Structure 1
Amino acid sequence: MQTNYKSENNSKCRHGGHKRGPTSYQMHDSNLVFEVLGLKNGDVFFDMGCGPGDYSIHAGKVIGIAGTVYALDSNISMLKTVDNKAATNGLSNIQTVYGDMTGVLPFEDESVDTCFMSTSLHCMDLQKCGTAIFKEVERILKLSGQVAVLECKKERVDFGPPLHMRISAEDIKSVVQPLGFSQYAYLDLGFNYMITLKKKGMDV
């Protein structure tokens, strides 16, 4: 099922400003990613910049029928792919959302257990857009919730985004710490990494 919402954010921060590459899901042990995330039955999982939805499908299987996955992307063809994968896997707990992850998000305050961003932040200017993105994440995240960012390591390699587009865990922390987030976990995935953040005071 697809839901639409309108973002009125500045176009300089619009997701999709750079062409995204293929999904990172097959590049590493994604079972390990979900082991660290520790999703529970009944959770609300928000996949921000879901692409073809591999992480959304995985999350939908973990959280069960009592939970909900919201898969957001600004590319309608990607959302159709997610809908088709959900149907193929018999998953009725996945809702696709057409929109821009840098705008106001269509969720109530403190309503999401996990906000997940996989190789989507490097597609925009983190210094210009990061504060607005994570302010919204802070608003919709439950007090006990988490935000996980999976990105390419800031290293020069022969594939993936160019070095100047890559963002490090330290780059992310420089944006989120003033907003009240602290690092909860760091997962080394070889060419990629995942940093998990929680609201300060809840990082135990």
Structure 2
Amino acid sequence: MDQAKPKGAGKSSFELIDTQILEQMLPIHKGSVILDLACGKGLYSLFLSQLSGPSGLVYAVDLWEEGLEILEQDALKKEAANILTIKADATREIDIEAHSLDLCLMATVLHDFKEMNADQTVLKQVL
């Protein structure tokens, strides 16, 4: 059974940002372990993959299966082997080892949580 496409699926703010400024602002170095929470089709994930390099790891998490498949195809084309996609609900506990992340990026996601009526306790943990 096909899952309904989430309301915000397919949209991204990535095309609107200055990636040089983003790179300067994020504390990412080669080998960083990053969570791109609610990654969609993974434009930020691909960017973060370049910054963290082959020794780094980007967990790309989303409920939108089609978006994750698009990301996996793009990652193969760009030889971004350091991206691990995970189909999961960003408002629930995600199976990633505690204290293993250097950074969590949530780009244009919080409004979706409000729309989903996400549990406030979960949102406080995420924030």
Q: Indicate the TM-score class for this superposition, using the shorter chain for normalisation.
A: 0.7 to 0.9
Q: Is the strand fraction higher in 1 or 2?
A: 1
Higher Rg of the two aligned structures? 1
Matched to 1:122, the amino acid is: H
- The alignment covers a number of residue pairs equal to 120
1:27 alignment counterpart: 16
Q: Does 1:101 align with 2:90?
A: yes
Q: Does 1:133 align with 2:123?
A: yes
What is the aligned-residue identity percentage?
30
Unaligned runs of 5+ in 2: 1-5
TM-score, normalized by length of structure 1?
0.55
1:19-168 equivalences under 5 Å are 19-20=7-8, 22-125=11-114, 128-135=118-125, 137=126
Q: Is the 8 A contact 1:101 1:133 kept in 2?
A: no
Q: Is the 8 A contact 2:91 2:118 kept in 1?
A: no
Q: Is the 8 A contact 1:103 1:133 kept in 2?
A: no
TM-score, normalized by length of structure 2?
0.86
Q: Distance in 2 between matches of 1:117 and 1:86?
A: 19
Unaligned runs of 5+ in 1: 1-15, 138-175, 177-204
CA RMSD in angstroms comes to: 1.8
Alignment partner of 1:125: what SS?
helix
Structure 1 runs of 4+ aligned residues shifted over 4 Å read none
